Amino acid sequence: MMKEIFCKLLVIGAGPGGYVCAIRAGQLGIDTVIVEFGKPGGTCLNVGCIPSKALIHAAEEFEKTSHMASGKSPLGISIATPSIDLEATTAWKDGIVSRLNSGVAGLLKRAGVKTVHGWAKFRDGKTVEVQTETGMQVVRAEMVVIATGSAPVELPFLPFGGAVISSTEALALSEVPERLAVVGGGYIGLELGIAFAKLGAKVSVVEALPRVLAQYDAELTRPVVKRLTELGVEVLVGAKAKGLSSKGDALLVETGNGRNAKIAADRILVTVGRKPVIEDWGLEQIDLAMAGKFIRIDDQCRTSMRGIFAIGDVTGEPMLAHRAMAQGEMVAEIVAGHKRSWDKRSIPAICFTDPELVTAGLSPEEAKRLGGEIKVGLFPFAANGRAMTKMSEDGFVRVVARADNHLVLGIQAVGQGVSELSTAFGLALEMGARLEDIAGTIHAHPTQGEGFQEAGLKALGHALHV
């Protein structure tokens, strides 16, 4: 027998967008149900942001100790040759994920949200059927939020399975592959490629575009490209992956000059992007307007159907957990009758390569395209005392502002640990800071954050330390 639940708000998907939306709705006293097929937290918590940062940290620590074992550490530290048990590393990573899973489940419960485990399919715009372990459950809701997220793109000539893996499998390996070929030189491919290179794998990256990390400007990515060379990562740009060798032990590649090549590999990691999860949940039963392959939304995350909202990766770029979270919180407040709309000046993006990249707002090129004169201030970490003491002098902070009124349009940084500066960058843009605001804010010494103040001063024409 089908069980029926009635609620005011139904959220489909318990990733960062969905669970934040449900928690906020629950806090606001809205009768809320959330449906999730897997574990709470979605891709980000279970097979994305969190586990990849754990692996990246383990790789950094291993590389540091390997450097010390070589006797080349300028810190004067020498140790015996280290080894890594990737199974133990993975177990540690899984422990963190498990703690966060429980945390999200507990927050949903505390907010009074009912969680239904299963796969939701629309019957109509206000009704879904959920296949649970105990049978079919029908949920009827006044309003629905679609937060189904995204999944790795599979290449038809390199289907996932065996030696060909996605980021999900890469984060669950029990041993470090001897040779790893990475198809796609975007942020996911390079984050994981660099981590495995530090763990001892021989890594090759194949990128079809003329350079890796093509979504960032070349000045910003230069320190990362330099580091790839230092780590012995082979980078083939303007090259196309063609398929697997007949023995399954190599990646077939067409190089930039049209030649065919073979890259020997135990594992082939395909990271050519992510696609929205829009299949198998009854999209054909409801009539939503699309924007390409994504669900079209307005500035309040409303779809073309009344009472149906969509948030997060299923609605397109930027596919970032924090964007989904902000959208989820906003939608919950709209459902509660609050006046809210989406007017974000900045959604910072971080690439956890070595060194790290942060962008917020417009790059110099994007700002120039908008018309009008701009000022750019760049401060190198080579002139920063804290960066020197951390052996992290590569990189810089760069501020882009209008020349007439000094309104800050964008901030970028590349360097060790600069991900933590993203908060200051986002805050400055969201509050409409001018160069004088950044330059006039007393920054603590010695910190890498001082580079932000110095970049502001440089744009004003009177940097103090460079």
Averaged confidence pLDDT in the chain: 96
Which parts of the chain register pLDDT below 50? none
State whether the Cα torsion 129-132-137-139 is positive or negative: negative
Tens of pLDDT, residues 73-115: 899 999 999 999 999 999 999 999 999 999 999 999 999 999 9
Q: What is the pLDDT of residue 344?
A: 83
pLDDT at res. 3: 83
Nearest to 103 by CA among 46, 169, 170, 31: 46
Strands (E), 306-407: 308-310, 349-351, 356-361, 374-380, 396-402
State how far the alpha carbon of 238 is from the alpha carbons of 93, 207, 214, 250, 308, in Å. Answer: 35, 6, 12, 19, 42
Instruction: Provide φ and ψ at 9, rounded to 5°.
Output: -130, 130
Going by the DSSP 8-state scheme, the letter that residue 169 receives in this structure is H
Which residues form the catalytic set? 445
pLDDT of residue 107: 97
Q: At 225, which helix (H) or strand (E)? A: helix 218-230
DSSP state of 154: P
Is residue 34 a contact partner of residue 17, using CB atoms and an 8 Å limit? no
> What is the pLDDT, as a whole number, of residue 466?
85
For 355, phi then psi, to 5°, come to -75, 170
The pLDDT of residue 406:
98
- Give the pLDDT score at 282: 92
3-state secondary structure 296-311: CCCCCCECCCCCEEEC
